[in-house]
Amino acid sequence: MEVLARRLNCVQCFCPPRPEQDGHEVKATSVVSETALQTWKDRWLQAKRHAQGVAEVSCIVLSAADALRQLPFHLWTWQFTTSVAKMAGRLMYIHMLPSCQFIATIFLALNWVCNGFQIQMCGSDTRSPLLCGAAGAWNPAWPAIPITVFIVACSISMVFVVYLQPLERGHFRSSIWTSEAGGLPLTCGSSFWTLSGLVLWDCLLFAGILVLPYGIMVEILAFWNVAFRGNRFEYVTATKALATEMQNRPLLTT
């Protein structure tokens, strides 16, 4: 029921009228385990649960197709159409696109290596050098570079603007984040450079390694479960932290 409730809340956010929510406590979703090995195991189980959302892709596609056939034309307003497109697109981007891109990149790299570091239709005398180059025909790692740059820039900007910048301006004095100051020491007189270094370290060194078990493998297992087991799986909840007096303080106050 918890999973269904979360999915329903997600769908309601795209369809008018949008729900209005009052402030309330939200249960933490990070895992808390006694040992490092148990943390990795609990995180794996959590990633498997999240990946099972791929079962909703076929559901939203079927629902959209039925709505397109049966709903009167005048009900397909711009807002309703964009809401349906957002729901379908978001599920496909989350569950389908990463695995498809990973598999396609692997086969492209194998083809590139087995053919003397060249792609058959993209030789040195090709008529479309920009297209072949952008597709990674001469260097399969190139298409990932712009994506990595955007991920790093967006991550740094989000954390700095939402958390660090308000602290530097003296806002939200009574929040937990302010009392902890984010735990970031100053580098060259600013926490921005510390944040940038940590994000670069994570994205360039660990993101590619961790995305294999927690991103690609869990999605492939979810594809298998949905295709051959009908989305039947054992739901194992992750260990959550117990609420303390400090955790009951407001996360953000004005």
- Whether 217 and 47 have beta carbons less than 8 Å apart is answered as no
pLDDT digits (tens, 9 = 90+) for 195-243: 889 899 988 888 878 888 888 888 888 888 888 887 676 666 655 544 4
pLDDT digits (tens, 9 = 90+) for 100-145: 888 888 888 888 888 888 777 776 666 677 777 777 777 777 778 8
Q: Cα–Cα–Cα angle for 27, 32, 34, nearest 5°?
A: 155
Q: Which residues in 215-235 are b (16+ Cβ under 10 Å) and which e?
A: bbbbbebbbebbeeeeeebee
pLDDT value, residue 64 = 87
pLDDT digits (tens, 9 = 90+) for 23-49: 444 444 566 667 778 888 888 888 888
How far, in Å, CA of 125 to CA of 244, rounded? 67
Q: Cα–Cα–Cα angle for 6, 207, 53, nearest 5°?
A: 25
Which tokens hold the place of 48?
């498997």
**What DSSP assignment string belongs to 83-95?**
HHHHHHHHHIIII
**What DSSP assignment string belongs to 168-192?**
HTT--TTSHHHHHGGGPPPBTTBHH
